[in-house]
Structure 1
């Protein structure tokens, strides 16, 4: 049975891709086929093969299906700024209608476990009054919320979950990614998060010296998603 999820975060730079790559690796080691999409990415680097984004490459590296880079990341922009601003500077209008076909092609590959990663948090502008969250709604995918654990994360996490559910989507689970291990009262904050997020926790990932997909996967549990381990 194919399972697909939209991965979002409580903010930017909270390790969303690190967790997504870990989830894909965890799925692969159970024998599941994997695929991923990061439909829009900014902060890309020019290479002989075209613009490349480190996050998209990290996801591609964990795809067991043979996907081309452009399938995983169809809209790539060089400036390391908000995607809608980067697209505007390049004369590209980002819209749900333009992003949907590319993501659906990846979903149609039929991998056992597919992740579609957003950019930044839940409310990331595209063009006009559209947000990247509208893409998740159009895809009707359950959501995995990555919480960057640091000061202020409880507010961000609860508001993100409320917004996702208000948009009519189910939050399948959340991951605590401890981006600031010096967070005061860390255990108490994690307990408060668990109480404020009434959905399964898929893992607590500590600050790792080498946050490889394999190392991250050791701290994740896919069982709440119905994935056999």
Structure 2
């Protein structure tokens, strides 16, 4: 059954008018007609079974019938990444949503190859991933920030949260053992760009008491692969996969 993210309040009997793009998708692409059912969610009130009462390609209207899943809490996992180019950037956003990130934060580093980001595109990718994967809490997309500013304001903004960073130069000890020592802590993950962090950045990161470097194994991973691998090992060791 199709799932769509909407900004409308959802409750029994609520009438929801979709925007032009979503209306075209349901009426023209999926050929949904009056009486057909879809699932809507807004990140606040769970998932709702809704029935089409109008199938105009310009403005589909639905009525909320019943809640079929309660709202899930927003994940506390913070994920920061150095933006990549085009399709690989889309991939990173989608996989971060699937892997349970609650905040997705673009971080500009010395070797970051992307100078300008379109926040609307990042948000659209996050919403699409949530629609496809039955995620009810769409992650917050942060405004881009420099690594220097992120680290300089970390304790002020994040308190006691630990910042795990994927360090290709870290000792090749098991990341499972390192992460197990963070059990019960609030966690952030930082993954660098293609080419990794500069020596200066690594030295800065390793000198901070809230930063925890981890190795992701004996092979050099692409940045997008490293992101998925690191999120998976965190969720499996101390996250919501346990």
TM value normalised by structure 2 = 0.34
Larger Rg: 2
TM value normalised by structure 1 = 0.35
Specify which structure has the bigger relative contact order, considering alpha-carbon pairs within 8 angstroms and separated by 6 or more residues: 1
Which structure has the highest strand share of the two? Answer: 2
Which structure has the highest helix share of the two? Answer: 1
